[in-house]
């Protein structure tokens, strides 16, 4: 894909006979936003049924908890259903736990395998797009966006504090 460019700048030069327009300065190239740091191409979303999450310690240690927000879980069954996470041409079979009235989540074991297989880190983001859902199976397409924030920036910082990078 071609790199995107910002809008061109036009330079004006004052002269005795009035202002003259100089040749437009070519804009600098901006990074191509269609790829992530792992070389995988970022795909546009095909539906409005998605959620995104920036991964924290809760998602990636001890209990490996990945809860689903209400805008998605309200559409899903109120019981346990097999689910599939599709990412970068691979598939992970996990379980969706919908029986809790307050919080719905992916089973911890299946989510841990997905996280480990994809080398997920704190600060990475995942976009989960709900592709198919029924009482028999739920399918999500997952896109991973690497955060690349080193641990020195988030160790000891409360979640509500901004991360300042010099």
**CA 34-162-66 angle, 5° bins:** 65
Q: Which pLDDT does position 159 carry in this prediction? A: 56
> 16 is written with which tokens?
């005795």
What is the residue-wise DSSP string for 20-52?
EEPPPBPPPBPPPTTB-TTSPBPPPPSSS-EEE
Q: Are 35 and 63 in contact (CB under 8 A)?
A: no
Q: Which pLDDT does position 62 carry in this prediction? A: 84
User: Can you give the pTM of this predicted structure?
Assistant: 0.65
The mean pLDDT of 71-100, rounded to a whole number, is: 96
113: left (phi over 0), alpha (psi -120 to 50) or beta: alpha
pLDDT per position as a tens digit, 88-117: 999 999 999 999 988 899 999 999 999 999
Q: Are 83 and 96 in contact (CB under 8 A)?
A: yes
CA dist 108 and 114 (Å) reads: 10
CA dist 125 and 78 (Å) reads: 27
């Amino acid at each position: 894909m071609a790199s995107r460019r910002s809008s061109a700048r036009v330079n004006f030069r004052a002269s005795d006979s009035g202002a003259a327009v100089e040749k437009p300065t070519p804009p600098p190239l901006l990074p191509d936003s269609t790829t992530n740091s792992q070389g995988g191409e970022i795909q546009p979303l095909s539906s409005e049924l998605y959620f995104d999450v920036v991964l924290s310690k809760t998602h990636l240690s001890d209990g490996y908890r990945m809860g689903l927000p209400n805008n998605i879980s309200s559409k899903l069954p109120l019981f346990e259903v097999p689910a599939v996470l599709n990412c970068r041409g691979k598939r992970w079979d996990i379980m969706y736990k919908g029986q809790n009235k307050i919080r719905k989540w992916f089973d911890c074991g299946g989510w841990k395998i997905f996280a480990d297989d994809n080398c997920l880190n704190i600060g990475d983001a995942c976009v989960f797009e709900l592709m198919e859902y029924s009482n028999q199976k739920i399918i999500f397409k997952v896109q991973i966006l690497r955060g690349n924030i080193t641990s020195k920036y988030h160790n000891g910082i409360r979640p509500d504090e901004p991360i300042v990078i010099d």
